[in-house]
Amino acid sequence: METLRYLDDVSTLVLDADKCIGCRLCTLVCPQAVFEMTDKKAGIVDFNACMECGACVNNCPSEAIRVSPGVG
């Protein structure tokens, strides 16, 4: 999604792949398509598209995602 961008390299988004349980919720709720599933684990495919809205964090049941809205 190259048309809507945040500031490059300032997002506070962190994904702990070891904690990911493969539920896919982050891929469903992210308005910027930051995440993609690979081998039953979420991965960040467009870090700079993250606008730190927190939808992924609020929906991740395993607490594998962290973001500090307003910091980046």
pLDDT digits (tens, 9 = 90+) for 16-62: 999 999 999 999 999 999 999 999 999 999 999 998 999 999 999 99
Note whether residue 6 is domain-resident.
Answer: no
Count structural domains, the chain.
Answer: 1
Question: Could you give the maximum distance between any two Cα atoms of the chain, in Å?
Answer: 32
pLDDT of residue 1: 46
CATH number, domain with residue 38: 3.30.70.20
Closest CA to 1 of 43, 27, 31, 40: 31
Note whether residue 30 is domain-resident.
Answer: yes
Domain that holds residue 37: 14-66
Note whether residue 3 is domain-resident.
Answer: no
Note whether residue 26 is domain-resident.
Answer: yes
How far apart CA 34 and CA 19 sit, in angstroms, is: 18
